[in-house]
Amino acid sequence: MQKINEKTDLPQKRFTRTIEDFTCENCGTEVQGHGYTNHCPVCLWSKHVDVNPGDRLAECKGLMKPMYIESKCGQYVIVHKCQKCEFTRRNKTSPEDSFEAILEVSKQHRSHY
């Protein structure tokens, strides 16, 4: 049964855990997925494959560049932007992510301002 958001009367988004390995199309790293993996831990790039997290229903399939890093409640969040359709999505970092890559994205974003 799908939950309904009482404020909007729209179905709530559900997360689908999808365990799959992939090769990063940006840097070529072989990534072992654990069901919550949605970006490369080396370069932080992602791919526009989901409508709702884990569903693999997006038709775009464009590469998603890590544009900037946000910090929320002590957790880093990567904001990705699709290079094909310009869709943006926020994704939590994981312990496997390169801290150097997180710093580099942060530094690049700051240099544009």
Q: Using the Cα atoms of residue 100, residue 101, residue 102 and residue 108 in order, give the sign of their dihedral.
A: positive
Q: How many Å separate Cα 2 from the centre of its chain?
A: 24
Residue 64 CB coordination number (10 Å)? 27
Pick from 30, 28, 105: which is nearest to 70 by CA?
105
Give Cβ neighbours of residue 106 (< 8 Å, ≥ 6 apart): 68, 69
Angstrom distances, CA of residue 44 to CA of 2, 5, 62, 85: 32, 32, 15, 19
Q: Which two tokens stand for residue 102?
A: 């997180």
* Tens-place pLDDT, residues 53-99: 888 899 999 999 999 999 888 899 999 999 999 999 999 999 999 99
pTM greater than 0.75 (yes/no): yes
Q: Which two tokens stand for residue 50?
A: 């989901």
* Tens-place pLDDT, residues 24-47: 999 999 999 888 788 999 999 999
